[in-house]
Amino acid sequence: MTTLSTEHLIGIRDLTAEDIELIFKTADAFKDVINRPIKKVPSLRDITIANLFFENSTRTRLSFELAEKRLSADVVNFSAASSSVKKGETLVDTVNNILSMKVDMVVMRHPNPGAAKFLSERIDARVINAGDGTHEHPTQALLDSYSIRERLGEVKGKKVVIVGDILHSRVALSNIYALQKQGAEVMVCGPTTLIPKYISSLGVKVEHDLRKALEWCDVANMLRIQLERQDIKYFPSLREYSMQYGLTKEILDSLPKKIVVMHPGPINRGVEITSDVADSDQAIILDQVENGVAVRMAVIYLLASQIKR
């Protein structure tokens, strides 16, 4: 297989296992490129990409921009905070104005679940979802699985626990779909109030005891508590959350096997993970960031190769 089964990347739910394998094989080649002295290929010299960020981002925005530039695409960046959205312009009007400037692909982060799909049904350009509210963050899940594959050889058969604020997490949902499509076993762990009731229907295990979850897994993906999405109190205090669900070096060292620790960022050091865990050799957090560029180059390259030019 040399092409993706989809024209846009809205969510991992839409991808096949073969799509994920193709993205990873393509990312392997791009990882070689970005480790060369000249970190650039001319593949997308005739493609223009707009990065539309309606919500804050550090890693995803920079990673997409670097991936696009490493592929030699022309890049324009849009941040809602400094745009005419503040004057009342709608999403579709904003995007159509940008597309009039002959843009081929749109990478969008938006606070509303479904925004990327909405856009893909209304514009004549490829759309990549860079995170839509609490729904999906597909490239994050791809780079997470790619990093597990790199560290452990394969994803199939591995036991992965996702710990923390599952209720508000697009990273959790995309990871569940991605890991299951590749044959991994998935568990979620956190306080009852932060685990959505529907989660068991996705075929994941649920555990409320962090130690039991860590003893079960090969990989722990520690999520941030998303206070900005919480309109009510889901637990008494961050200190109490940290005491029950924070991963410390003491817990890590007491486990029967050496597990891999992941975090999508941004980290709240001392809440979901202590600094000595985040900086330990069991953590692959910066590998995830590095792999993000290669994986995003692969996604952009594969979607752009479907555009008739």
Sole window of 54-62, 68-76, 82-90, 254-262 interacting with ligand CP (rule: CB under 6 A): 54-62
Choice among 8, 61, 109, 181 that is catalytic: 109
- 229 counts as catalytic: no
DSSP the chain: --S-S-SSB--GGG--HHHHHHHHHHHHHHHHHHTSSS----TTTT-EEEEEESS--SHHHHHHHHHHHHTT-EEEEEEGGGSGGGGT--HHHHHHHHHTTT--EEEEEESSTTHHHHHHTTSSSEEEEEEETTS--HHHHHHHHHHHHHHHS-STT-EEEEES--TT-HHHHHHHHHHHHTT-EEEEES-GGGS-GGGGGGT-EEE--HHHHHHH-SEEEEPPP-GGG-SS-SSS-HHHHHHHH-B-HHHHHHSSS--EEE--S---BTTTB-HHHHTSTTB-HHHHHHHHHHHHHHHHHHHHTTS--
Cβ proximity to ligand CP, 13 vs 59, nearer residue: 59
Instruction: Considering only the stretches 65-73, 112-120, 183-191, 263-271, report the one whose residues sit in contact with ligand CP under the rule CB under 6 A.
Output: 263-271
* Per CB under 6 A, 208 contacts ligand CP: no
Query: One of 61, 70, 126, 137 is an active-site residue; which one?
Result: 137
Catalytic, out of 59, 69, 208, 229: 59
- Is 224 an active-site residue? no
* Nearest CA-CA partner of 22 in 9, 38, 33: 9
Q: Which is nearer to ligand CP, 258 or 269 (CB)?
A: 269
Q: Which of 58, 192, 193, 254 binds ligand CP (CB under 6 A)?
A: 58
Sheet-wide strand order for 48-53? 74-79, 48-53, 105-110, 126-132
The answer to whether residue 264 forms part of the interface with ligand CP (CB under 6 A) is yes
Which one of residues 21, 33, 34, 59 is an interface residue with ligand CP (CB under 6 A)? 59
Minimum CB separation of residue 297 from ligand CP in Å reads 17
205 catalytically annotated = no
Among residues 137 and 181, whose Cβ is nearest to ligand CP? 137
In the shown chain, the binding pattern of residues 114 to 133 toward ligand CP, with x for contact by CB under 6 A and - for none, equals -----------------x--
In the complex, minimum distance from the CB of residue 59 to ligand CP, in angstroms, rounded to a whole number: 4
Residue 199's Cβ-side half-sphere holds a number of Cα atoms within 13 Å equal to 26
Binding residue for ligand CP, selected from 18, 39, 266, 286, defined by CB under 6 A = 266
Binding of ligand CP at residue 227 (CB under 6 A)? no
Of 290, 62, 257, residue with least CA distance to 158: 257
Active site residue 151: no
- 111 part of the interface to ligand CP, by CB under 6 A: no
Is there binding between residue 139 and ligand CP (CB under 6 A)? no
Nearest distance from residue 93's CB to ligand CP, in Å? 25
- Is residue 90 among the annotated active site residues? no
List, by residue number, the catalytic residues.
59-60, 87, 109, 137
User: Interface residues with ligand CP (CB under 6 A)?
Assistant: 57-60, 131, 137, 140, 264-266
